[in-house]
Structures are given as structure tokens and as C-alpha cells.
Amino acid sequence: MKTESLFNENIEICPGVIHLPAFADSAQLHSVLQEVLQRAPLRQMQTSRGFPMSVRTSNCGEVGWVSDRRGYRYTQTDPVSEQAWPDMPQAFSSLAQQAAQTAGFPGFVPDACLINHYVPGTQMGAHQDKDEQDFSAPIVSVSLGIDARFYVIGPERRGTSTAIDLSDGDVVVFGGPARKHYHGVRKLKASTHPIWGESRCNLTFRKAR
Ligand code: MD3
Ligand code: FE
């Protein structure tokens, strides 16, 4: 959490979706993330149908989310290195815990951090996050780098969506009635950020097990 800020806005977009603008310290997270990505580099996972995902991903924490021809699941080892995923850095877990608490979810202890890396032109189609065991725990999303437009639909794939424009350092907490809502990310527009260059990283903190 940024310690220099006197207070943070806490905007409830809809029940269970809480936006904390500029809650995270992007420069600090950038350097911590580089160490994680040295041990578990970003890679393009395959969908269960065998297509490469446009977003590159990695993980840290006790377990990591993987996708391949066998489907989606959490694993204790990185299939590329065949080693444990890198430990979740203290700066990551304390940020996730503080954001969850600010949003009304005290005692959140994530065991997984999925790292998504976007470049202009990439997007993420509407989906639900339902590979976790415990839906009473929220998901904490941290946006870093260039801006993106995120959307939340609701419990069904079809219907009207609510847009949230996410900037560097923004945190969104999804829990309670919104935990299984369909959501996605619109195609990123070309842009550049002084630290992150032409890219966006999203960290999602989860309690998978
Ligand atoms: C709303 N990532 O990795 S995080 C994902 O920006 C994912 O990379 C997007 O969706 C990204 O699964 C958006 C925001 C998010 C995460 C979980 C949610 C929104 C959610 C669960 C329920 C509702
Ligand atoms: Fe998701």
C-alpha cells in the first residue's frame, strides 16, 4: 500500500466490486515482480482446445493457475521449470491483505498470485473465475502499467456490462455477490508508461485451496 497517501477513495461499483484507485505502489511492485519473473518467466499458456492465449502469464505463491490441453487447474509446481512456484513476496501478500480489509474482507490470506501480462491489442474474453475451492474469499486485482478497460457483466454471460477504467496502481476487490460474476478486459489501446513501457501487468490474488 502507498504509505504517503492520507486516505484512499473506496468506490463500490456494484455490490461486491470495490475499486481502490491508486492503492498500490507501482514502482515498488515493478522491482519485486522482476525477481519473481526471473524464477518463473512469463509464458503463453494453451487453452484446452490447444490455442495459445494472447495474454502471457506466470504465478507466485503456494499454488499457481495453469491451463493446457487437460484444462484449467492450480498446481504446486511450475510445469516449465518443474520447480515450486516462487514464494509470494511479502510486499504482495501484505498489499492483497490490506486491500481486502479496506474493501470489507478482513483476514484474507492468498495462496496464489496469477500474473497476467498484456500488450496493446490483447484482451481477455468474458469468463468466470471458478477454479478455486473457497468462494467466500474475495479476489484482489492489482493493475500496473498502461490503462485498461475492465467490464463486469453478472452471474450470466449475457447482459449489460459495467465498465471500470483501470489505471496504474488501481486495486479492485471482487467478493461476496460478485465473486462468480462474468468479467473480462477490452482490447488494450496503444500507450506507454514510464516504468512498464508498452505493457500492463495484472496481479490477481486468490485463495485457491
Ligand atoms: C470479477 N484478469 O486473471 S482481474 C483473471 O485484468 C482476470 O488480468 C483480469 O480476470 C485482468 O481471471 C481482470 C479482475 C477480476 C478478477 C476476478 C473476478 C474480476 C473479477 C472475479 C469475479 C468478478
Ligand atoms: Fe478472471
User: Helix (H, G, I), strand (E, B), or coil: what is residue 66?
Assistant: strand
Q: How far is the CA of 183 from the centre of ligand 1 (A)?
A: 6
CATH number (domain holding residue 153): 2.60.120.590
Q: Which atom of ligand 1 is nearest to the CA of 202?
A: 8
For 150, the domain range is: 3-206
- Whether residue 141 contacts residue 171, with contact meaning beta carbons closer than 8 Å, is answered with yes
CA distance 181 to 190: 28
Q: Which residues line ligand 1 (CB under 6 A)?
A: 114, 116, 124, 129, 139, 141, 150, 152, 172, 174, 178-179, 181, 183, 185, 202, 204
Give the CA-trace dihedral at 33, 186, 139, 73, to 10 degrees: -80
The residue-averaged pLDDT of 61-69 equals: 97
**Burial grade of 110 (CB within 10 A; 0-12, 13-18, 19 or more):** buried
Q: In DSSP terms, which residues pair with 141 in a beta bridge?
A: 172, 204
Task: Specify the pLDDT at position 3.
Answer: 58
Residue 59 confidence class, pLDDT cut points 50, 70, 90: very high
Q: How far is the CA of 205 from the centre of ligand 2 (A)?
A: 11
Q: How far is the CA of 53 from the centre of ligand 2 (A)?
A: 14
Q: How far is the CA of 124 from the centre of ligand 1 (A)?
A: 9
DSSP 102: H
Closest CA to 114 of 157, 186, 53, 195: 53
Note the helical H segments in 1-155. Answer: 26-39, 90-102
Q: What is the residue with the minimal CA distance to atom 22 of ligand 1?
A: 179
Task: Specify the pLDDT at position 9.
Answer: 86
Closest CA to 16 of 150, 154, 148, 108: 154
> What tens digit of pLDDT does each residue of 115-172 get?
999 999 999 999 999 999 999 999 999 999 999 999 999 999 999 999 999 999 999 9
**Ligand 1 pocket: which of 56, 105, 129 to mutate (most atoms within 8 A of CB):** 129
Does an H or E element contain 73, and which? Answer: strand 71-75
Task: Specify the pLDDT at position 4.
Answer: 56
- Residues with Cβ within 8 Å of 148's Cβ and at least 6 positions away in sequence, in order, are 118, 165, 166, 185, 186, 188, 200, 202
Task: Specify the pLDDT at position 110.
Answer: 98
Residue 6 confidence class, pLDDT cut points 50, 70, 90: low
DSSP 192: -
> What tens digit of pLDDT does each residue of 7-42 get?
678 999 999 999 999 999 999 999 999 999 999 999
Is the pLDDT at 64 greater than 80? The verdict is: yes
Q: How far is the CA of 37 from the centre of ligand 2 (A)?
A: 21
Q: What is the residue with the minimal CA distance to atom 4 of ligand 1?
A: 141
% of the chain surpassing 70 pLDDT: 97
- Whether residue 137 contacts residue 102, with contact meaning beta carbons closer than 8 Å, is answered with no
Number of domains the chain contains: 1
The residue-averaged pLDDT of 172-201 equals: 98
Across the chain, mean pLDDT equals: 96
The verdict on pTM exceeding 0.85 is: yes
Does an H or E element contain 113, and which? Answer: strand 112-118
Is the pLDDT at 5 greater than 70? The verdict is: no
Radius of gyration of the chain from Cα atoms?
16
**Ligand 1 pocket: which of 141, 150, 161, 164 to mutate (most atoms within 8 A of CB):** 141
Q: Which residues of 124-154 are buried (b: 16+ CB within 10 A; e: fewer)?
A: beeeebeebeeeebbbbbbbbbbebebebbb
Map grid coordinates 461476496 to a residue.
176
